[in-house]
């Protein structure tokens, strides 16, 4: 449906791995691998197609020790906005989930410091999904033999093993979002040094506490785009289901950050361009 390139000369800009709208299709938050929260606004033409953006603010997260979040403590990968305006942020490396209340950047930890110790490192929690009824889930990036392992939040600092999401193992999970239709949408990524990045969006229908088999809604050609890592799924005024994606440029200044939008079909669709 459309896309824009985002460039910025600031040395702290880049590495945007999580994305969530504060209001559908307009104001947003994005989080970076270097522990920065960026606020912005999407601009649209008369047809509602994305035409530009405005970055409105940037601030660094505070870690659990009261220090600016950097390095091992600063790898923010996913963000979701709660109804009261607070945000939930999932971090990799020192894997954890915390609540923040911008403009305050002090965390409210949602897990004990060592709850996810087995998942510390660079291949763990890149996804965070928040449902309309308040359910919170995170997925592990790399699928096991039986699918994606998940964790479900139970309040306070309690997380339990969630349902395994079936997958073919060809992609990794880099974000997830409950859509307005109640389905769980998973943003997936594959990479080849020869052909580049490939993006897939799969949808899972809820079956009680579990989820059904995935339906592939979108799969791009390898190398068509960069490293899409953040996603928000929303419904526009015309009733269309839209996925807004943001790419991680890995702090390479020659590679733009891309915000792209795709209309999600009811059935599978291969090789769609924005």
pLDDT above 90 covers a percentage of the chain that reads 82
Which residue, 6, 37, 41, is CA-closest to 23?
41
- The answer to whether the Cα torsion of 102, 155, 135, 31 is positive or negative is positive
Q: Kindly state whether residue 31 falls inside one of the protein's structural domains.
A: yes
Count how many domains the chain has. 1
pLDDT above 70 covers a percentage of the chain that reads 96
Mean pLDDT of 41-53: 92
Q: Kindly state whether residue 80 falls inside one of the protein's structural domains.
A: yes
Q: Kindly state whether residue 273 falls inside one of the protein's structural domains.
A: no
Q: How far apart are CA 215 and CA 179, in angstroms?
A: 14
SS3 118: helix
Both structure tokens of 176: 């997830």
Report residue 271's pLDDT band, with 50, 70 and 90 as the boundaries: very low
Both structure tokens of 42: 């999407």
Q: Kindly state whether residue 274 falls inside one of the protein's structural domains.
A: no
Instruction: Look up the CATH number of the domain holding residue 51.
Output: 2.120.10.30
Question: What pLDDT is attached to residue 53?
Answer: 86
Both structure tokens of 1: 């449906």
Q: Kindly state whether residue 101 falls inside one of the protein's structural domains.
A: yes
Q: Kindly state whether residue 272 falls inside one of the protein's structural domains.
A: no
Q: Kindly state whether residue 143 falls inside one of the protein's structural domains.
A: yes
Query: Which range of residues forms the domain containing residue 57?
Result: 2-263
Both structure tokens of 194: 């020869």
Pairing of strands 150-153, 241-247: unpaired
Report residue 266's pLDDT band, with 50, 70 and 90 as the boundaries: low
Average pLDDT, the chain: 92
Q: Is the pLDDT of residue 268 over 70?
A: no
Q: Is the pLDDT of residue 270 over 60?
A: no
Which residue, 55, 92, 53, is CA-closest to 75?
92
Report residue 11's pLDDT band, with 50, 70 and 90 as the boundaries: low
Q: Please tell me which residue, 271 or 244, carries the higher pLDDT value.
A: 244
**Considering just the CA atoms, what is the radius of gyration of the chain in Å?**
17
Q: Is the pLDDT of residue 42 over 80?
A: yes
Q: Kindly state whether residue 270 falls inside one of the protein's structural domains.
A: no
Mean pLDDT of 151-177: 97
């Amino acid at each position: 449906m459309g896309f824009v390139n985002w460039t910025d000369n600031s040395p702290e800009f880049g590495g945007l791995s999580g994305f969530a709208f504060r209001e559908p299709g307009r104001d947003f938050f994005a989080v970076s691998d270097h522990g920065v929260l960026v606020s912005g606004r999407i601009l649209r033409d008369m047809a509602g197609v994305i035409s530009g953006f405005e970055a409105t603010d940037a601030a660094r997260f505070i870690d659990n020790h009261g220090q600016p979040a950097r390095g091992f403590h600063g790898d923010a990968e996913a963000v979701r906005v709660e109804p009261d305006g607070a945000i939930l942020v999932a971090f990799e490396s020192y894997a954890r989930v915390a609540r923040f209340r911008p403009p305050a950047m002090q965390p409210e930890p949602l897990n004990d410091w060592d709850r996810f110790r087995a998942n510390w490192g660079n291949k763990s929690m890149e996804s965070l999904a928040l449902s309309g009824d308040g359910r919170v889930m995170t997925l592990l990036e790399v699928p096991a033999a039986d699918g994606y392992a998940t964790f479900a939040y139970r309040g306070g600092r309690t997380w339990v093993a969630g349902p395994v999401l079936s997958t073919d193992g060809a992609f990794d999970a880099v974000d997830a979002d409950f859509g307005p239709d109640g389905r769980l949408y998973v943003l997936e990524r594959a990479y080849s040094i020869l052909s580049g990045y490939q993006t897939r969006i799969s949808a899972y229908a809820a079956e009680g506490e579990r989820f059904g088999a995935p339906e592939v809604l979108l799969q791009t050609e390898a190398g068509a785009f960069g490293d899409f890592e953040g996603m928000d799924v929303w419904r526009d005024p015309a009733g269309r289901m839209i996925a807004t994606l943001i790419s991680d440029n890995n702090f390479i200044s020659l590679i733009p950050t891309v915000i792209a939008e795709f209309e999600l079909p009811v059935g599978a669709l291969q090789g769609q361009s924005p």
